[in-house]
Amino acid sequence: MEAFTFAFFRFTIASIVLLAIVRSRSYALTIERKDYPRIVLLGILIIPLNQTLFLVGQAMTAAGHGAFLFATTPLWIFLLARIHLKEKTTARRLTGILLGLAGVIVIMWSGLQTAGKEYLLGDIIIVIAVLAWAYYSILGKDLVRKYGALRITGYALSSGALLYFPFGLYRAISFDYSGVTYAAWLSVGYLAVGLSVIVYLIWYWLLKYMDASRAAVFQNIQPIAASITAYFFLGEAIGAAFVVGGLIVMSGVVLSET
């Protein structure tokens, strides 16, 4: 299933489920009108800029590349927290950031050598998606503390899905489903409920009680699991340059978070 159609079904299902949960509960604090634009901005960051671009980029590169590039999230969150939250920069964290970015360059270069410009473009698109996720995490932290993870996640995801709906509906109507397997539909359901609902709720719930840069470090488990899974299920080779770049990224992340 092509990326834009896949995204349409995923976000639509996730929004319906989340809104049903949100509306079934009562809340002591009503969301103030001045906070709605920020919630919509979170929706733009998480749907069109993060998830949609990630699907597009992932379709243009290897699964392992996407996973390791996403592992740079703590680095970007630290940089943005320094810019927007005025957090202090230590020499250790700065070194870790530079090391992690060097690893990203190695990964992109290995993709360029392996599959030409197609891998490189996909990697660049994924980096943009990662930046959107980092902004989503930082800009949503105060709102989650104020209103809770459930409402902010539900309304942000739903507003983003609503903005995406016209374009996604057009792609869904014009798409040829003759080649879509049951496994593809199961993947849609898994990502809609398992990731967009359950994991997104857990992420914002963590941010309510933990610093964003500390919470982000847990995402570093993802590239290891994704690379192993891609090797066994997709037959993706793990080249020397990819291993080196991945180790550099992980070293930079660990260094910046310790």
Chain centroid to Cα 178, Å, comes to 29
3-state helix, strand, coil in the chain (%, to 5): 85, 0, 15
Q: What is the DSSP string of 78-95?
A: HHHHHHHS-PPPPHHHHH
Q: Which amino acid is at 78?
A: F
Quick one: which of 127, 117, 237, 234 has its CA closest to 187?
234
Q: Which amino acid is at 250?
A: M
Which residues are CB-contacts of 109 (< 8 A; sequence separation ≥ 6)?
A: 241, 245
Among left, alpha and beta (phi > 0; psi -120 to 50; other), residue 16 is alpha
| Distance between CA atoms of residues 57 and 161, nearest Å | 19
- What would the two tokens of residue 42 be? 């979170």
Predicted pLDDT of residue 164: 94
Dihedral angle computed from the Cα positions of residues 121, 204, 10 and 246, in that order, rounded to the nearest 10 degrees: 30
- Only one residue has tokens 């809609």, namely 192
59-97 per-position pLDDT tens digit: 888 766 776 777 778 778 878 877 877 767 677 777 877
- What would the two tokens of residue 249 be? 């990224």
Q: Does the CA dihedral 221-225-226-228 come out positive or negative?
A: positive
49-61 per-position pLDDT tens digit: 998 898 888 888 8
Which residues are CB-contacts of 186 (< 8 A; sequence separation ≥ 6)?
A: none
- Could you list the beta-strand ranges (E) of 106-236: none
- What would the two tokens of residue 200 be? 């997104």
Q: What is the pLDDT along the chain (258 residues), one digit of tens a residue?
A: 888 899 899 999 999 999 999 999 888 889 999 999 999 999 999 999 998 898 888 888 876 677 677 777 877 887 887 787 776 767 777 787 778 777 777 766 665 555 555 678 888 899 999 999 999 989 988 899 899 888 999 999 999 999 999 999 999 999 999 999 999 999 999 999 998 889 888 888 888 887 766 666 666 666 666 777 777 887 877 777 777 877 887 787 777 666
> Do residues 208 and 149 make contact, with C-beta atoms less than 8 angstroms apart?
yes
| Distance between CA atoms of residues 212 and 114, nearest Å | 35
| Distance between CA atoms of residues 205 and 220, nearest Å | 18
